[in-house]
Structure 1
């Protein structure tokens, strides 16, 4: 099947400027602000070609992060701190049991942000399907990986938040493995109030650890970036974009 829209260059071509192997850093549990500062430092170094393309693999302690389009009503009601960040999107939660991956990659010219996002999604869709959820796919108008639900009430199992500066990617993806869902009850996750959030463990009825998902997710991302895993049309529904037309609230 074809990609949702034609990319700027062939789908079987690498989206990375470099042909060198990815430098994967396994960081364990890292405070969100520390990880954000590290990303910024690495992005500057990558833009200057001082380091190779780098992927950070980690988990965060429990925290809310609010993207540029977060609205006042999205914010938590339970008193947990919120960090306002420079990625797109609205509010989400990070915490133990959630696999977080931040690619710091210099993209090839011409830079195609949509293609980059679609490739990350494609990698995650394949990983989730290989776990035993064959219906996982996209909801047009909304980023991330979704599992079909009845009456269009779908469940989000992986979220994306991206920033690209000087051709280098920052932020990335969060795959819900065996994390609690409690903290989503106190926000409007990603600004979406007509759907829910789930985990691989909840969907499969068995424990799916973060550690077990690291290798397949990294392999799928590498394949997607290189063009070995071709973006296909896995959309099973469409829904309003929760960020479209929204102002950036004053902070």
Structure 2
């Protein structure tokens, strides 16, 4: 039986059944250890979080919430960000095809997001020197200048060739939480959502299948092949 590049997808919870951040992080760490030891093919986790601020390794004091909200320090790269209802989070806990090709893996995740946006009529862009996916600013029909707006964040940890964490796509979430932080350490740009940019409500559930489809289509060459027999046998619930 030929190998496949795709471990299984697993939806942990979508609104109103949001997922506690620490619980999902514990799950990632357990799954990561099993992928490293070779007892699991990995899993691509999809979910919405209960509202939380998380601080990556490069977070600085000036980035922290100005209203005293609690922050979870986490082992991913990047700075401070927010997760919560209305935002689709994807945590691929997977073995990379080339452990040294982290930049290429980031490109792959960005491309999944860019193609998802394109299906909704939006032009998602990469910005040199800034991670994630952006809607570029410009001049609107009223002659007003609009800034670049971040619509998806990426933050990763790759250890022993196996990735943790992933991306967060703003779908229908409120942007109020971003008013209290310097999101991702960026002071000269804003944040936005699929719903704001399209003018209609688009929830994480609405884009789930699209994200999964693009992820699976783009995975070859970026994720290490996994044994289909292991993929079949390792379907016990992850606790």
Fold similarity call, TM over 0.5: yes
Q: TM-score, normalised by structure 2?
A: 0.84
Deviates more, 1:187-196 or 1:217-226: 217-226
Q: Distance in 2 between matches of 1:132 and 1:178?
A: 16
The answer to whether 1:182 aligns with 2:171 is no
The Cα of 1:78 is off from its aligned counterpart by: 1.8
Deviates more, 1:193-202 or 1:217-226: 217-226
The answer to whether 1:68 aligns with 2:57 is yes
Q: Deviations over 1:169-222 (max 9, x none)?
A: 000000000000000000000000000000000000000011011111111112
Q: TM-score, normalised by structure 1?
A: 0.81
Match of 1:97 among 86, 96, 106: 86
Match of 1:219 among 203, 213, 216: 213
Q: Distance in 1 between matches of 2:28 and 2:99?
A: 23
Match of 2:25 among 36, 44, 47: 36
> 1:194 — aligned with what?
188
Q: How large is the Cα RMSD of the aligned pairs?
A: 1.5
Gaps (5+ residues) in structure 1?
A: 1-17, 229-251
Asked if the contact 2:99/2:160 (under 8 Å) is kept, the reply is no
> 1:27 — aligned with what?
12
Gaps (5+ residues) in structure 2?
A: 139-144, 223-239
> 2:232 — aligned with what?
none
The Cα of 1:110 is off from its aligned counterpart by: 5.1
Equivalent pairs, count: 210
Q: Distance in 2 between matches of 1:118 and 1:41?
A: 26
Q: Deviations over 1:50-83 (max 9, x none)?
A: 1113111111111000000001000001222100
The Cα of 1:152 is off from its aligned counterpart by: 7.7
